[in-house]
């Protein structure tokens, strides 16, 4: 039961990351395509999302067949997702700080936070809360 | 009557071999050098019952394939020194890696005893190793030892004496499978044409070495009467592929033996093992490395931005104060020379420190060791060992320690190539130039442009290595075997300390060489007396205009040309020079405005300039360390000329290519 939840989670997260990654790359390559409010045109950001998505998806066959060690893909996917969520958060936070100190804060909008790297990481936070802590405590002990 | 025997202590590095050597011989040791080389040779003696035992401590090696000087010394002593017994010191906490050497020693057919050292540490972590079973499966006596406490020494010497009295010893051969074995059989048949050779070396062992592309074995064949027959067999063989097949087979054998002899050594994978499974995977390893590096550069640009704005505000305040100083020349010295020069470098300290902090986190977590492993495949394909990647990563901070870090590379040509390509790796001193120009001329994606420049540096380094390997420094790189440290959650204090250790030199440079450089440029820009500061009539302008025609095809104006000339002292001076020459000292933010307003500068020229700064001749400190580490002015001069030529060519392609694409002018 527990493994099927992990399998479902890996599949969904992988598909979301990969889908958003392709959209970001597509919007960048074909400027005529209107970028959605919540998915910017960014080729390298899109590449990052695709890699995270592929890490999640690479674990799916193993999780389905119960291969030992397949869980590693889920955990590394979570780790990458959280790390890049933090990158996006810090980048946006730095923009806010600069605007607050040297600009007009009224020009800053919370909509700037609507980037897949950040909001998809919220899903990973749930996964981390469920399974990640035990795994990463193991890393600290190793 | 007493008996006299010689034993050789062999084993991987860091398995407690020297400790065991001291535990066996006590104070009866003497040191010297191995013949013809400067590697230290330690030997000692001990009397055990009625046997006098001479003990020779061999250099630590991971294998017996002659890739490094240490391996050649160890192998030659075992073959030519003909010790009565070889004692392999095995780290009980790392059986899988250590037994690889065992498989190679077994193939030599030498009398072998295993000292299972650090057994107490293995037991403490719960490993249960069955010595009898291990001895039975390997067909080698195994003795438990703890060198640091002197435990098991008597038993080890008993086994050594026993083993020296038995004969003959057969080779414990591994079956290498249907694809490899027929070729080994053919090679053995061919080798038998030279009885002198086969009487000295076990034919199967020599055949295996030849199949692995062992250069030392190939040298032996060159003078053999079996040469032609062997060459005809080897001509249709891909040595790299066969070497991998045989290494896989040895590890398969070890993997089959381990569960039989140790009940917990092959237990559940640790969290580190699980993470490694993904981050070092064949397909995902390199993409994961690339995205992590991109994340580091993205943060370097974005998070530093508000801190840069704060430093800029302080500079503007100081420039305002300086403007009121009398006499006027002192005001321009402080405003244009000090604040405009040094200040324009200090503003980029947040970028440098953030990048170094992020690299420290990656290093302290244990990830950078994996990055070197992941890149090994790529490095090997271009003719360099994976070990060369570590100095490349260190080069992101500063090329000087990076070039010194090449001392870990044993092969001379591997090391020389790694030194020569290191200046292409973008150090922190070049970052201010990239941050300024990418931020100004590529405001939509400055982090991506900077990331692209760092990647370009790596690509040029790799292409240069390939070129050197194919032309002036031919050879084959040594395989890369490294120990992976376990992953750790890095602490903020440790990472900050590492960041400070590497980054504080930029502050010292700002107060030293950059300050002097800025003052020299100020003096050149303000002289001769009465000339308009920083104008074409100043000495700086004259120098720039004299050299500028060389750079005209790249679209660089004379101010940029002068900054490049002084950047030879230290790369940060490029920005300090521009700050001084554009005369923007009284308004620190004005350099950006002045550059944007300069009609000579557009995005293509800015890109060509950044690429030139990335690749052109190394700074003075790097040149000095290249001279010291290569011991050659010739290679130092080569590095300068080659780097500058590559930089010119790359910038020319960008400038001219851009002009072609955008209608005949460089935008």
Q: Do B279 and A48 touch (CB under 8 A)?
A: no
d(CA B277, CA A76): 10
Search chain A and give the residue with CA nearest B485.
A142
Answer whether residue A107 shows pLDDT above 70: yes
The arithmetic mean of pLDDT across residues A11-32, rounded, is: 89
Mutate to test the interface with B, among A17, A53, A139 (most CBs of B within 10 A): A139
d(CA B664, CA B555): 12
Q: Is A60 on the interface with B (CB under 8 A)?
A: no
Over residues B315-325, the pLDDT tens digits come to 778 877 877 77
Q: Do B448 and A44 touch (CB under 8 A)?
A: yes
Of B267, B301, B325, the domain-final residue: B267
Give percent above pLDDT 70 in chain B. Answer: 90
Place of tokens 């392609």: B653
- The reply to whether B566 falls in a domain is no
Phi, psi of B201 (to 5 degrees): -120, 140
Q: What domain count does chain B have? A: 2
Q: Is A131 on the interface with B (CB under 8 A)?
A: no
Give percent above pLDDT 90 in chain B. Answer: 14
pLDDT given for residue B137 in this prediction: 86
Answer whether residue B266 shows pLDDT above 60: no
Name the average pLDDT for chain B: 82
Residues of B in contact with A95 (CB under 8 A): 302, 305
Q: Is A122 on the interface with B (CB under 8 A)?
A: no
Handedness of CA B477, B481, B483, B487 (dihedral sign): positive
Across B25-29, B187-191, B494-498, the highest mean pLDDT is recorded for B187-191
pLDDT given for residue B481 in this prediction: 60
d(CA B318, CA B300): 26
CATH number at residue B88: 3.40.50.300
Search chain B and give the residue with CA nearest A94.
B303
- The reply to whether B74 falls in a domain is yes
Cis omega (within 30 of 0) for bond into B168:
yes
Band of pLDDT at residue B611, cut at 50, 70 and 90:
very high
Of B267, B293, B316, the domain-final residue: B267
Q: Do B489 and A136 touch (CB under 8 A)?
A: yes
- The reply to whether B199 falls in a domain is yes
- The reply to whether B94 falls in a domain is yes
Over residues B478-529, the pLDDT tens digits come to 665 666 777 777 888 888 888 887 777 777 776 677 777 777 877 887 788 7
Answer whether residue B652 shows pLDDT above 90: yes
Band of pLDDT at residue B78, cut at 50, 70 and 90:
confident
**Residue B100 sits in the same domain as residue B208:** no
CATH number at residue B211: 1.10.287.1770
Answer whether residue B609 shows pLDDT above 60: yes
Question: Do residues B93 and B122 lie in contact, with contact meaning Cβ atoms separated by under 8 Å?
Answer: yes
Q: Which residues of B touch A (CB under 8 A)?
A: 269-272, 274-275, 277-279, 281, 283-284, 287-288, 290-292, 294-295, 298-299, 302-306, 309-310, 313, 445, 448, 451, 486-489
The residue among B529 and A98 whose pLDDT is bigger is A98
pLDDT given for residue B621 in this prediction: 77
Residue B119: which of B16, B245, B1 has the closest Cα? B16
Over residues B535-570, the pLDDT tens digits come to 778 888 888 888 888 988 988 988 888 888 888 777
- The reply to whether B131 falls in a domain is yes
pLDDT given for residue A86 in this prediction: 94
Residues in contact with B273: Cβ distance below 8 Å, sequence separation at least 6, in sequence order: none
Answer whether residue B355 shows pLDDT above 70: yes
d(CA B621, CA B573): 14
**Residue B235 sits in the same domain as residue B121:** no
**Residue B159 sits in the same domain as residue B213:** no
- The reply to whether B453 falls in a domain is no
Q: Is A80 on the interface with B (CB under 8 A)?
A: yes
Q: Count of alpha carbons within 13 Å of B442, Cβ hemisphere only?
A: 22
pLDDT given for residue A10 in this prediction: 94
Across B227-236, B240-249, B416-425, the highest mean pLDDT is recorded for B416-425
Neighbours of B660 (CB within 10 A): 10
How many Å lie between the alpha carbon of A123 and the closest alpha carbon of chain B?
A: 20
pLDDT given for residue B66 in this prediction: 65
Q: From the list B277, B287, B309, which residue is nearest A51 (CB)? A: B287
**Residue B143 sits in the same domain as residue B11:** yes
Q: From the list B292, B304, B306, which residue is nearest A101 (CB)? A: B306
- The reply to whether B125 falls in a domain is yes
The arithmetic mean of pLDDT across residues A46-72, rounded, is: 90
Residues in contact with B449: Cβ distance below 8 Å, sequence separation at least 6, in sequence order: B434, B438, B442, B607, B610
Angle in degrees, CA B464, B467, B470, rounded to 5: 150
**Residue B46 sits in the same domain as residue B160:** yes
**Residue B21 sits in the same domain as residue B51:** yes
Q: Do A91 and B272 touch (CB under 8 A)?
A: no
Residue B602 CA from chain centroid, whole number:
37
Q: Do B277 and A97 touch (CB under 8 A)?
A: no
Handedness of CA B68, B72, B118, B170 (dihedral sign): positive
**Residue B133 sits in the same domain as residue B242:** no
**Residue B202 sits in the same domain as residue B255:** yes
The residue among B621 and B231 whose pLDDT is bigger is B231
Question: Do residues B425 and B452 lie in contact, with contact meaning Cβ atoms separated by under 8 Å?
Answer: no
Residue B96: which of B269, B302, B352, B333 has the closest Cα? B269
Residue ranges making up the domain that contains B205? 181-267
pLDDT given for residue B586 in this prediction: 46
Over residues B135-153, the pLDDT tens digits come to 988 889 999 999 888 899 9
Give percent above pLDDT 70 in chain A. Answer: 86
Mutate to test the interface with B, among A55, A96, A115 (most CBs of B within 10 A): A55
**Residue B28 sits in the same domain as residue B85:** yes
Q: Count of alpha carbons within 13 Å of B73, Cβ hemisphere only?
A: 23
How many Å lie between the alpha carbon of A107 and the closest alpha carbon of chain B?
A: 16
Answer whether residue B226 shows pLDDT above 70: yes
**Residue B145 sits in the same domain as residue B90:** yes
Mutate to test the interface with A, among B274, B279, B286 (most CBs of A within 10 A): B274
Question: Do residues B131 and B119 lie in contact, with contact meaning Cβ atoms separated by under 8 Å?
Answer: no
Neighbours of B509 (CB within 10 A): 19
Q: Is A87 on the interface with B (CB under 8 A)?
A: yes
**Residue B196 sits in the same domain as residue B154:** no
Over residues B107-127, the pLDDT tens digits come to 888 889 999 998 888 887 778
Search chain B and give the residue with CA nearest A76.
B275
ipTM: 0.92
Q: Is A12 on the interface with B (CB under 8 A)?
A: no
d(CA B431, CA B453): 10
- The reply to whether B605 falls in a domain is no
The arithmetic mean of pLDDT across residues B609-634, rounded, is: 87
Residue B502 CA from chain centroid, whole number:
17
pLDDT given for residue B477 in this prediction: 66
Q: Which H or E element spans position B43?
A: strand B40-48
pLDDT given for residue A142 in this prediction: 41
Q: Do A72 and B305 touch (CB under 8 A)?
A: no
**Residue B196 sits in the same domain as residue B124:** no
Neighbours of B613 (CB within 10 A): 25
Mutate to test the interface with B, among A43, A47, A94, A116 (most CBs of B within 10 A): A94
The arithmetic mean of pLDDT across residues B245-260, rounded, is: 85
Q: From the list B278, B306, B310, which residue is nearest A76 (CB)? A: B278
Of B137, B164, B191, the domain-final residue: B164
């Amino acid at each position: 039961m527990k493994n099927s939840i992990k399998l479902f989670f890996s599949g969904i997260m992988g598909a979301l990351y990969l889908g958003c990654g392709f959209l970001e790359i597509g919007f960048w390559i074909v400027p005529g395509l209107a970028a959605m409010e919540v998915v910017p045109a960014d080729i390298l950001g899109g590449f990052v999302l695709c890699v995270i998505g592929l890490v999640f998806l690479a674990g799916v066959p193993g999780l389905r067949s119960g291969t030992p060690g397949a869980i590693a893909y889920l955990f590394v996917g979570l780790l990458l997702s959280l790390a890049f969520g933090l990158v996006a958060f810090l980048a946006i936070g730095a923009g806010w700080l600069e605007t607050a100190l040297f600009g007009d804060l009224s020009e800053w909008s919370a909509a700037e936070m609507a980037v897949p790297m950040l909001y998809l990481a919220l899903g990973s936070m749930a996964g981390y809360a469920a399974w990640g802590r035990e795994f990463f405590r193991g890393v600290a002990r190793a | 009557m007493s008996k006299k025997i010689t034993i050789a202590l062999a084993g991987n590095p860091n398995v407690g071999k020297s400790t065991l050597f001291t535990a066996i011989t006590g104070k009866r040791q003497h040191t010297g050098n191995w013949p013809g080389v400067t590697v230290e040779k330690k030997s000692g003696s001990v009397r055990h019952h009625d046997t006098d035992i001479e003990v020779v401590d061999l250099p630590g090696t991971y294998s017996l394939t002659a890739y490094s000087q240490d391996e050649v010394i160890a192998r030659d002593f075992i073959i030519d020194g003909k010790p009565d017994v070889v004692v392999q010191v095995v780290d009980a906490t790392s059986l899988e890696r250590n037994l690889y050497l065992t498989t190679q020693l077994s193939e030599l057919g030498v009398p072998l005893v295993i000292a299972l050292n650090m057994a107490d540490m293995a037991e403490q972590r719960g490993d249960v190793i069955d010595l009898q079973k291990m001895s039975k499966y390997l067909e080698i006596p195994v003795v438990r030892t703890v060198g640091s406490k002197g435990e098991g020494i008597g038993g080890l010497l008993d086994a050594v004496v026993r083993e020296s009295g038995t004969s003959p010893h057969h080779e414990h051969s591994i079956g290498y499978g249907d694809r490899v074995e027929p070729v080994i059989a053919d090679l053995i048949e061919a080798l038998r044409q030279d009885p002198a050779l086969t009487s000295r070396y076990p034919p199967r062992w020599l055949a295996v070495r030849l199949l692995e592309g062992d250069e030392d074995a190939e040298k032996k064949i060159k003078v053999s009467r079996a040469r032609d027959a062997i060459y005809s067999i080897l001509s249709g063989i891909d040595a790299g592929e066969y070497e991998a097949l045989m290494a896989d087979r040895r590890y398969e054998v070890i993997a089959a033996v381990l569960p039989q002899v140790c009940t917990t050594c092959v237990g559940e994978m640790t969290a580190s093992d699980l993470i490694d499974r993904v981050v070092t995977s064949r397909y995902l390893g390199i993409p994961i490395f690339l995205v992590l590096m991109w994340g580091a550069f993205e943060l370097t640009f974005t998070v530093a931005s508000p801190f840069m704005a704060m430093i800029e505000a302080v500079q503007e305040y100081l420039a305002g104060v300086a403007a009121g100083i009398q006499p006027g020349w002192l005001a321009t010295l402080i405003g244009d020379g000090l604040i405009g020069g040094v200040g324009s470098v200090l503003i980029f300290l947040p970028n440098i420190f953030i990048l170094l902090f992020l690299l420290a986190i990656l290093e302290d977590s244990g990830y950078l060791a994996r990055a070197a492993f992941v890149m090994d495949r790529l490095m090997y394909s271009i003719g360099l060992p994976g070990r060369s990647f570590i100095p490349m990563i260190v080069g992101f901070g500063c090329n000087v320690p990076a070039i010194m870090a090449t001392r870990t590379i044993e092969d001379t040509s591997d090391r020389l190539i790694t030194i020569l390509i290191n200046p292409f790796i973008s150090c922190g001193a070049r970052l201010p130039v990239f941050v300024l120009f990418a931020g100004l001329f590529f405001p939509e994606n400055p982090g991506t442009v900077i990331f692209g420049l760092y990647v370009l540096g790596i690509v040029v380094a790799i292409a240069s290595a390939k070129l050197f390997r194919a032309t002036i420094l031919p050879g084959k790189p040594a395989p890369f075997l490294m120990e992976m440290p376990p992953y750790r959650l890095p602490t903020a204090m440790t990472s900050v300390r590492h960041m400070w250790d590497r980054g504080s030199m930029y502050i010292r440079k700002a107060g030293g060489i950059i300050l002097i450089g800025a003052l020299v440029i100020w003096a050149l820009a303000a002289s001769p007396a009465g000339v308009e500061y920083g104008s074409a009539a100043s000495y700086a302008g004259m120098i720039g205009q004299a050299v500028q025609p060389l750079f005209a095809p790249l679209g660089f104006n004379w101010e940029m040309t002068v900054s490049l000339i002084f950047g030879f002292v230290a790369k940060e001076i490029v920005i300090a020079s521009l700050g001084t020459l554009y005369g923007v000292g009284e308004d620190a933010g004005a350099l950006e405005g002045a550059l944007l307003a300069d009609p000579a500068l557009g995005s293509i020229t800015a890109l060509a300039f950044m690429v030139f700064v990335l690749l052109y001749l190394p700074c003075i400190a790097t040149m000095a360390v290249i001279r010291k580490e290569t011991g050659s002015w010739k290679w130092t001069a080569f590095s300068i000329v080659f780097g500058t030529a590559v930089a010119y060519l790359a910038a020319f392609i960008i400038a001219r290519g851009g002009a072609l694409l955008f209608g005949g002018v460089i935008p």
